[in-house]
Amino acid sequence: MIAHYSVICRREELKSIRDRLGAELETHGITGLLRDQVVLAVDEACANAIIHGNDCDENRTIRIEAELREGILTVRIYDVGQFEFDPKLLERDIDYFIRNKMKGGLGLKLIHAIMDEVRFDLVDGVCVCTMIKAVPVS
């Protein structure tokens, strides 16, 4: 297990998530652009959970878990907020979101562009975002 921690649903926690995860990934040999891309994807997923799913309710938390096994990085974000995944958002090019200055969906596009696999599941009332990325093994 690379990481396992919970944070309060406040926007200010996003920086600590980025900093902590980035350092933990680097410790496990995931560096440079790859590290930055994974941190961006996790940041976007956590922002969605904190801001949209939980409305920045400081009485709620999200849990982040990351594990690395045989060159496969798996990151899971658990939250009890509201989430509805709209697969139609993924059908549009990133340029569409930028040109039309759309507020929603760009983060999901980035997550899916960066990670090899992304799933959203509801397990016993808990939203679980699972992100998987193959990484070089040293």
| Residue 109, both tokens | 């596009």
Give pLDDT, residue 96: 73
CA distance 60 to 133: 28
Taking a C-beta distance cutoff of 8 angstroms, is the pair 97, 106 a contact?
Answer: yes
Question: What is the enclosing helix (H) or strand (E) of 7?
Answer: strand 3-8
pTM: predicted TM-score of the whole model, two decimal places: 0.88
Give pLDDT, residue 103: 65
Q: For the chain, list the domains and their CATH numbers.
A: 3-134 (3.30.565.10)
Each residue's pLDDT, cut to its tens digit, for the chain (138 residues) gives 788 999 999 999 999 999 999 999 999 999 999 999 999 999 999 999 999 889 999 999 999 999 999 999 999 999 987 766 666 666 677 677 677 776 666 788 889 999 999 999 988 889 999 999 999 976
Give pLDDT, residue 52: 85
